[in-house]
């Protein structure tokens, strides 16, 4: 018997969320972002779930090759660009597009003396201050890249720091777009600006956000980038982490539960032990009170999450028994709610799904 813990991936919801992204940004080409093992969903499942995307974007060059091997023939984009000269050759041999964010990467492309044409995204730093050329340096970088014979199309790109919040007190989308426009003035080329937050704000910023390509990630996986909840954005969960009750303890007032005896019963209580712990990707920092569903009934986490188990309060779930289904996140329990209770974001929980968790596929409808 396998351990009852499973992560069910809802490919139909991935498709649905991609269609939502298209609705938000009509007429715009979509890079579905599948970095980090498709946000923990599995690279190959990302490829199938987002088969309708115009391209797949990711970080890892080896995974770009893997997608080609798996039969993906549409565009691929490396979001951090290449890391060495050998990567430069891969761009040509496998038809992979690359971000260019630094002088060092331009030098790699110059020195590679590439035979075939490559398409690149030239990144501007408009305030994120991670990667990219400052607006005043952008035109020169563009010209230098243009002079490389193998370089064909150059798409103009930037990345938003606060796309989830239109009126961020430190740096707004509008401010970043204004810097982008000034740095890109007079330069022809397609434009790629928006992550999920930008896509979801596209309707409000239709005038400012001139995207030819958008790069949604988290929204495609049914998570919110912030602002409103995923369901308010019309997104569906794509990963349901579920397990079972494997043990029950009836305790009396004064008894404690688990490591550190963090939970102490004030009155008699019934405790359910769930086969899922931090070594599965459930956050150890989830607070007591984090919601958990047992047979579809909402209850809460109590005590400390341990490596292989966590404990829940069954006092008000009288029907619960060993074998009862437990939903940790996903259908019926937004991953963002769990993330919030652990002081993190849905992104991190998805990406941290551990390799030992058995992964299944199902349509969301068939799981209720």
Catalytic residues: 35, 259
Neighbours of 45 (CB within 10 A): 20
Which parts of 230-362 are beta strand (E)? Answer: 239-251, 256-257, 263-264, 269-274, 291-294, 297-302, 310-313, 325-329, 358-361
Q: Which is nearer to ligand PLP, 164 or 313 (CB)?
A: 164
For the bound state, the minimum distance from the C-beta of residue 198 to ligand PLP, rounded and expressed in Å, comes to 8
| Residue with Cβ nearer ligand PLP (214 or 286) | 214
Question: Which residue, judged by CB position, is nearest to ligand PLP in the bound state?
Answer: 217
Is the CB of 35 or the CB of 304 nearer to ligand PLP? 35
Q: What is the DSSP string of 185-212?
A: TT--S-EE---HHHHHTTTTTTTT---S
Give the three-class secondary structure for 335: helix
Least Cα distance to 220 among 9, 8, 69, 7 occurs for 9
Distance of CA 361 to the CA centre of its chain: 18
* Distance of alpha carbon 206 from alpha carbon 188, whole angstroms: 20
Cβ atoms within 10 Å, residue 223? 28
- Which one, 227 or 332, has the nearer CB to ligand PLP? 227
Closest distance to ligand PLP from the beta carbon of 252 (Å): 47
Q: Write out the residues near ligand PLP by the rule CB under 6 A.
A: 33, 35, 79, 159, 195-196, 215-218, 225
DSSP state of 332: T
Q: Write down the least CB distance from residue 196 to ligand PLP, Å.
A: 3
What is the rounded radius of gyration, in angstroms, for the C-alpha atoms of the chain? 23
Q: How many CA atoms lie within 13 A of 34 on its CB side?
A: 31
Residue 123 beta carbon to ligand PLP: minimum distance, rounded to whole angstroms: 8
Smallest distance from ligand PLP to CB 143, Å? 23
Residue 30 or 271 with smaller CB distance to ligand PLP:
30
Q: Which is nearer to ligand PLP, 39 or 263 (CB)?
A: 39
- Rounded to the nearest whole angstrom, what is the least distance from the CB of residue 37 to ligand PLP in the complex? 13
User: How many residues in the chain?
Assistant: 368
Calculate the alpha carbon distances from 71 to 3, 75, 94, 224, 244 in Å: 33, 12, 12, 30, 37
């Amino acid at each position: 018997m396998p351990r009852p813990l499973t992560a069910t991936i809802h490919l139909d919801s991935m498709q649905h969320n991609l269609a939502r992204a298209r609705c938000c940004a009509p007429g715009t080409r979509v890079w579905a972002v599948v970095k980090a093992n498709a946000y923990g969903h599995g690279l190959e499942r990302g490829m199938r779930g987002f088969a309708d995307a115009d391209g797949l974007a990711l970080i890892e060059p080896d995974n770009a090759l893997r997608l080609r091997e798996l039969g993906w023939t549409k565009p691929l984009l490396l979001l951090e660009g290449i890391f060495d000269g050998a990567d430069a050759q891969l761009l040509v041999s496998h038809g992979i597009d690359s971000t260019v964010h630094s002088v060092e990467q331009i030098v790699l492309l110059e020195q590679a003396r590439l035979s075939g044409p490559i398409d690149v995204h030239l990144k501007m730093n408009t305030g994120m201050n991670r990667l990219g050329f400052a607006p005043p340096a952008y035109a020169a970088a563009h010209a230098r890249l243009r002079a490389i014979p193998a370089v064909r199309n150059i798409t103009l790109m930037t990345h938003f720091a606060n796309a989830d919040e239109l009126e961020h007190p430190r740096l707004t989308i509008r401010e970043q777009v204004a810097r982008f426009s000034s740095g890109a003035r007079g330069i022809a080329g397609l434009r790629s600006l928006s992550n999920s937050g930008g896509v979801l704000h596209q309707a409000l910023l239709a005038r400012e956000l001139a995207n030819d390509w958008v790069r949604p990630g988290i929204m495609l996986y049914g998570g919110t980038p912030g602002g409103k909840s995923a369901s308010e954005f019309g997104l569906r969960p794509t990963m349901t982490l579920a397990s079972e009750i494997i043990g029950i303890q009836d305790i009396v007032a004064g008894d404690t539960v688990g490591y550190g005896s963090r939970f102490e019963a004030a009155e008699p209580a019934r405790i359910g032990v769930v086969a899922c712990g931090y070594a599965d990707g459930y956050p150890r920092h989830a607070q007591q009170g984090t919601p958990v569903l047992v047979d579809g009934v909402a209850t809460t986490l109590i005590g400390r999450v341990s490596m292989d188990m966590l404990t829940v309060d069954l006092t008000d779930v009288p029907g619960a028994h060993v074998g009862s289904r437990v939903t940790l996140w996903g259908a019926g329990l937004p991953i963002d709610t769990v993330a919030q209770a652990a002081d993190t974001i849905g992104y991190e929980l998805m990406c941290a799904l551990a390799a030992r968790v058995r992964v299944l596929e199902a349509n969301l409808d068939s799981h209720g």
